[in-house]
Amino acid sequence: MKDRILLKFGKNVKMLREKSKLTQEQLAFRSGLHRTYIGMIERGERNITLINIEKLSKGLNVKIEELFK
């Protein structure tokens, strides 16, 4: 069973990515992460590190706090 916080975080990442009109591949490139890793985050399958959270926020051009709303 997936942890609720991972699912919520992943849902927020996906929403912000789609709002920015980015594909998973584009976000991966902008954040320096792998495309399949982005998909796993969005599905709540990965418990990512703070370093990767910062990379995502930079790739999405949002404050880190936006990823947790």
CATH number of domain containing 36: 1.10.260.40
pLDDT over threshold 80, residue 1: no
**Is position 57 within any domain?**
yes
Residue 39 lies in a domain: yes
What pLDDT score does 66 carry? 95
Burial 12-42 (b: 16+ CB within 10 A, else e): bbbebbeeeebebeebbebbebeeebbbebb
Q: Is 67 part of a structural domain of the chain?
A: no
Q: Would residue 53 count as lying in a domain?
A: yes
Domain interval for residue 22: 4-61
> How many domains does the chain contain in total?
1
Report yes or no on 68 lying in a domain.
Answer: no
d(CA 33, CA 44): 16
For 10-65, how does the pLDDT look when each residue is reduced to its tens digit (9 = 90+)?
999 999 999 999 999 999 999 999 999 999 999 999 999 999 999 999 999 999 99
